[in-house]
Amino acid sequence: MHKQTLKQFDPDINAAIEREKQRQEEGLEMIPSENFVSPAVLEALGSILTNKYAEGYPSKRYYGGCQFIDEAEQLAIAPAKQLFNAEHVNVQPLSGAPANIAVYFALLKPGETVLGMDLSHGGHLTHGHPVTYMAQIFNFVRYKTNAEGKIDLDNLRQMALEHKPKMILVGYSAYSREIEYEAIKKIADEVGALTMADIAHIAGLIAAGEMNNPVPIFDVVTTTTHKTLRGPRGGMIMCRGGMIMCKEKWAKQIDKAVFPGLQGGPHENNIAAKAVAFKEALEPEFSDYARQIKINAKVLEAEFIKRNYKLCFGGTDNHLLLIDVTNKGISGKQAQIALDAAGITVNKNMVPDDQRSPMDPSGIRLGTPAITTRGMKETEMVQIADHIDEAIKNWQDQARLTSVRQQVIELTKKFPLY
């Protein structure tokens, strides 16, 4: 049967992969939700586990021949529990969006109200943005950050008292500050709301003890596994379970919502790769890595402030920076395009209460997880801030952008990817 290599059978796809590999090697990957997995994670991801159907959960499958799949799935669940101090973990969500959707269906009835962060203030599409189907099913009400860039807890409490939500949802994709889970839980308890945190962006930082952990505090926590956690593309749900009856019911409800409620057969090659990534995250080196992500982000913060950039939320406590670039006479889209030409990958992004459109917003979002994986530290951050500044200042000058690109290639050569 299958005898040909990828290159022999499909040279076009092979070439696309090789070109993307070169792009990753030669560029500075600064989209804060991206990272580079280890060769071990890649190996598990590309393994023969992709051949197997295993609908159900370990030891309760609808298919025969699942004994080794069960082992692999348990090998993902155990370190995940350890990393986050979780009582119950579901590692089957295909990614963050299905994880969030499964939780909504597990814990809410159609029409019930959820308080979630406004997208332009750092929230996420799947937290009830009007363009999503979830917004047609549940009643999402949006809270915002205050003028200092903090989550406005007084306003959140007022909104909770007014709207009586069934759930308060925190966790953000463009918000750069720490989250006070205890204070938010107190508000939720006051109005009898459930608490959900989506820690997709900061899961690796939480696992390493570099940011507050909502898992022991909140009712349910979702995450992706491929951002700061540096695993394969996928999702995960954590909640309390075990001893307390009603909480155990949630664990069951959540499992049922993932399968059969929302998904079919789990992607077991992906789950095995999650297991590898979680094992890696338990190693002491991962703590050093997570600490360096934050140090690098702080250096960038200082360098951009020095260069008169406008940092949303007043700066960063995590891995990302949201920068309003309009004071530099450029839009977020123009900045993204210029930086692309300079070999620096970021994404255009809305800033709080942005008056521009999502396709051409005022800001750019950038982060340090991927460049930190390459081994870059404080010295390189200063250099990178210079490159970004030069590209933004000279966004209409192709020769200058090409010159920055050459400098970026020289820099990345010193930090090979694989």
Q: How far is the CB of 248 from ligand DSN (least distance, A)?
A: 30
Task: Name which of residues 343 to 362 contact ligand DSN (CB under 6 A).
Answer: none
Residue 124 C-beta: closest distance to ligand DSN, Å:
6
The tokens describing 408, both together, are 């970026």
Catalytic residue among 52, 53, 180, 393: 53
From 142, 157, 227, 333, the catalytic residue: 227
Four-CA torsion 386, 389, 393, 399, nearest 10 degrees:
50
The active-site residue out of 81, 144, 150, 233 is 233
**What is the radius of gyration, based on Cα positions, of the chain?**
22
Torsion of Cα atoms, 377 then 378 then 379 then 381, to 10° = 90
Known catalytic residue at 317: no
Residues 84-113 contacting ligand DSN, CB under 6 A: 96
Pair 251, 219: CB distance under 8 Å = no
154 catalytic? Reply is no
Range 207-266, binding ligand DSN (CB under 6 A): none
Is 240 considered catalytic here?
Answer: no
Is 165 a binding residue for ligand DSN by CB under 6 A? The answer is no
Count of residues near ligand DSN by CB under 6 A = 4
Burial of 270 (0-12, 13-18, 19+ CB in 10 A): buried
The SS3 call for residue 111 is coil
Could you identify the residue written with the tokens 């008292």? 161
Does position 33 interact with ligand DSN (CB under 6 A)? The reply is: yes
Q: How far is the CB of 363 from ligand DSN (least distance, A)?
A: 13
Q: Which amino acid is at 272?
A: A
Question: For the chain, what is the total number of helices (H) and then of strands (E)?
Answer: 16, 15
The Cα-based distances of 112 to 102, 170, 194 in angstroms read 15, 17, 12
| 56 vs 96, beta carbon nearer ligand DSN | 96
Residue 20 Cβ vs ligand DSN, minimum distance, rounded to whole Å: 17
- Candidates 173, 292, 362, 412: give the one binding ligand DSN (CB under 6 A): 173
Q: Exactly one of 223, 224, 225, 316 is catalytic; which is it?
A: 224
The two beta strands, 56-57 and 60-61, are: antiparallel
| 316 is a site residue for ligand DSN (CB under 6 A) | no
Q: Does 177 participate in catalysis according to the annotation?
A: no
Binding site for ligand DSN (CB under 6 A): 33, 96, 124, 173
The catalytic residue positions are 53, 55, 198, 224, 227, 233
